[in-house]
Structure 1
Amino acid sequence: MRTRTRQVVRMLADMRHAAHCRALRAVATHEAMRLAAAEAEADAGSQEKTHEAPDTSSDARPLEAVKRGPGYH
Protein backbone atom coordinates (compact mmCIF):
# COMPACT_ATOMS: atom_id res chain seq x y z
CA MET A 1 0.00 0.00 0.00
CA ARG A 2 2.89 2.31 0.70
CA THR A 3 4.12 2.12 -2.91
CA ARG A 4 0.68 3.00 -4.25
CA THR A 5 0.52 6.07 -1.99
CA ARG A 6 3.93 7.21 -3.20
CA GLN A 7 2.84 6.79 -6.80
CA VAL A 8 -0.30 8.84 -6.24
CA VAL A 9 1.63 11.59 -4.46
CA ARG A 10 4.22 11.69 -7.27
CA MET A 11 1.49 11.74 -9.89
CA LEU A 12 -0.24 14.67 -8.14
CA ALA A 13 3.08 16.51 -7.86
CA ASP A 14 3.73 15.94 -11.57
CA MET A 15 0.27 17.23 -12.44
CA ARG A 16 0.79 20.33 -10.28
CA HIS A 17 4.18 20.93 -11.87
CA ALA A 18 2.72 20.53 -15.38
CA ALA A 19 -0.07 22.99 -14.58
CA HIS A 20 2.48 25.49 -13.29
CA CYS A 21 4.57 25.09 -16.47
CA ARG A 22 1.47 25.59 -18.64
CA ALA A 23 0.67 28.78 -16.75
CA LEU A 24 4.23 30.05 -17.20
CA ARG A 25 4.15 29.25 -20.93
CA ALA A 26 0.80 31.00 -21.31
CA VAL A 27 2.16 34.14 -19.63
CA ALA A 28 5.30 34.06 -21.77
CA THR A 29 3.25 33.60 -24.95
CA HIS A 30 0.94 36.46 -24.01
CA GLU A 31 3.92 38.73 -23.35
CA ALA A 32 5.55 37.77 -26.67
CA MET A 33 2.31 38.50 -28.52
CA ARG A 34 2.01 41.87 -26.78
CA LEU A 35 5.59 42.79 -27.71
CA ALA A 36 5.08 41.67 -31.33
CA ALA A 37 1.93 43.77 -31.60
CA ALA A 38 3.74 46.81 -30.19
CA GLU A 39 6.61 46.26 -32.62
CA ALA A 40 4.23 45.93 -35.58
CA GLU A 41 2.47 49.10 -34.51
CA ALA A 42 5.81 50.94 -34.32
CA ASP A 43 6.81 49.60 -37.75
CA ALA A 44 3.52 50.76 -39.23
CA GLY A 45 4.10 54.21 -37.77
CA SER A 46 7.60 54.41 -39.20
CA GLN A 47 6.40 53.22 -42.62
CA GLU A 48 3.81 55.99 -42.71
CA LYS A 49 6.57 58.52 -42.07
CA THR A 50 8.76 57.08 -44.84
CA HIS A 51 5.90 57.14 -47.37
CA GLU A 52 5.47 60.86 -46.76
CA ALA A 53 9.11 61.61 -47.61
CA PRO A 54 9.95 62.05 -51.32
CA ASP A 55 11.98 59.39 -53.10
CA THR A 56 15.58 60.59 -53.24
CA SER A 57 17.27 57.56 -54.75
CA SER A 58 20.34 58.40 -56.80
CA ASP A 59 19.69 55.67 -59.40
CA ALA A 60 16.24 56.72 -60.58
CA ARG A 61 16.65 55.94 -64.29
CA PRO A 62 13.79 54.70 -66.42
CA LEU A 63 13.77 51.04 -67.39
CA GLU A 64 14.38 51.76 -71.11
CA ALA A 65 17.54 53.72 -70.30
CA VAL A 66 18.80 50.79 -68.24
CA LYS A 67 18.04 48.32 -71.05
CA ARG A 68 19.91 50.40 -73.66
CA GLY A 69 22.93 50.88 -71.43
CA PRO A 70 26.28 49.20 -72.10
CA GLY A 71 26.58 45.56 -71.20
CA TYR A 72 22.90 44.73 -71.67
CA HIS A 73 22.25 42.14 -74.39
Structure 2
Amino acid sequence: MRTRTRQVVRMLADMRHAAHCRALRAVATQQAMRLAAAEAEADAGSQAETHEAPDTSSDARPLEAVKRGPGYH
Protein backbone atom coordinates (compact mmCIF):
# COMPACT_ATOMS: atom_id res chain seq x y z
CA MET A 1 0.00 0.00 0.00
CA ARG A 2 2.94 2.29 0.65
CA THR A 3 3.93 2.17 -3.04
CA ARG A 4 0.44 3.21 -4.13
CA THR A 5 0.49 6.18 -1.72
CA ARG A 6 3.90 7.25 -2.97
CA GLN A 7 2.67 7.10 -6.58
CA VAL A 8 -0.39 9.20 -5.78
CA VAL A 9 1.69 11.79 -3.94
CA ARG A 10 4.15 12.01 -6.86
CA MET A 11 1.29 12.29 -9.35
CA LEU A 12 -0.27 15.14 -7.35
CA ALA A 13 3.09 16.90 -7.12
CA ASP A 14 3.56 16.56 -10.88
CA MET A 15 0.08 17.97 -11.51
CA ARG A 16 0.76 20.90 -9.18
CA HIS A 17 4.08 21.59 -10.88
CA ALA A 18 2.48 21.46 -14.34
CA ALA A 19 -0.25 23.88 -13.26
CA HIS A 20 2.37 26.27 -11.89
CA CYS A 21 4.35 26.12 -15.15
CA ARG A 22 1.19 26.80 -17.18
CA ALA A 23 0.45 29.83 -15.00
CA LEU A 24 3.99 31.16 -15.45
CA ARG A 25 3.78 30.71 -19.24
CA ALA A 26 0.40 32.46 -19.34
CA VAL A 27 1.75 35.44 -17.40
CA ALA A 28 4.81 35.66 -19.66
CA THR A 29 2.60 35.55 -22.76
CA GLN A 30 0.33 38.29 -21.44
CA GLN A 31 3.33 40.45 -20.59
CA ALA A 32 4.79 39.97 -24.09
CA MET A 33 1.44 40.88 -25.65
CA ARG A 34 1.21 44.04 -23.53
CA LEU A 35 4.75 45.02 -24.52
CA ALA A 36 4.01 44.45 -28.22
CA ALA A 37 0.83 46.55 -27.98
CA ALA A 38 2.72 49.36 -26.27
CA GLU A 39 5.41 49.30 -28.97
CA ALA A 40 2.75 49.37 -31.70
CA GLU A 41 1.10 52.38 -30.05
CA ALA A 42 4.45 54.15 -29.81
CA ASP A 43 5.19 53.46 -33.48
CA ALA A 44 1.74 54.71 -34.51
CA GLY A 45 2.19 57.80 -32.37
CA SER A 46 5.58 58.63 -33.87
CA GLN A 47 4.23 58.23 -37.42
CA ALA A 48 1.25 60.44 -36.59
CA GLU A 49 3.59 63.15 -35.28
CA THR A 50 5.68 63.28 -38.45
CA HIS A 51 2.69 63.17 -40.85
CA GLU A 52 4.95 61.66 -43.48
CA ALA A 53 4.30 58.56 -45.51
CA PRO A 54 7.21 56.14 -45.55
CA ASP A 55 9.10 56.16 -48.85
CA THR A 56 8.89 52.63 -50.16
CA SER A 57 9.82 53.25 -53.78
CA SER A 58 13.43 53.01 -54.83
CA ASP A 59 12.91 54.90 -58.12
CA ALA A 60 11.02 58.20 -58.26
CA ARG A 61 10.42 57.95 -62.03
CA PRO A 62 7.04 56.79 -63.32
CA LEU A 63 6.73 53.22 -64.56
CA GLU A 64 6.37 54.18 -68.26
CA ALA A 65 9.62 56.19 -68.16
CA VAL A 66 11.41 53.22 -66.65
CA LYS A 67 10.04 50.87 -69.33
CA ARG A 68 11.26 53.14 -72.17
CA GLY A 69 14.72 53.53 -70.66
CA PRO A 70 17.82 51.54 -71.57
CA GLY A 71 18.25 48.10 -70.11
CA TYR A 72 14.56 47.16 -70.14
CA HIS A 73 13.85 44.01 -72.14
TM-score w.r.t. the length of structure 2 is 0.78
The Cα shift of 1:15 comes to 1.1
2:38 is matched with: 38
The Cα shift of 1:24 comes to 0.4
The answer to which of 54-63 and 19-28 deviates more is 54-63
Count of residues in correspondence between the two structures: 73
The Cα shift of 1:55 comes to 6.1
The Cα shift of 1:59 comes to 3.6
* Structure 2 portions without partners, runs of 5+: none
The Cα shift of 1:52 comes to 2.8
The Cα shift of 1:31 comes to 0.5
The Cα shift of 1:9 comes to 0.7
The Cα shift of 1:48 comes to 2.7
What is the root-mean-square deviation in Å for CA atoms of aligned residues? 2.7
Of all paired residues, the percent bearing the same amino acid is 95
- Residues 6, 70 of structure 1: alpha-carbon distance in 2 compared, 3 angstrom cutoff: same
- Residues 55, 29 of structure 1: alpha-carbon distance in 2 compared, 3 angstrom cutoff: closer
* Structure 1 portions without partners, runs of 5+: none
1:62 is matched with: 62
TM-score w.r.t. the length of structure 1 is 0.78
User: Partners in 1 of 2:55 and 2:5 — Cα distance?
Assistant: 75
Higher relative contact order (Cα pairs below 8 Å, separated by 6+ residues): 2
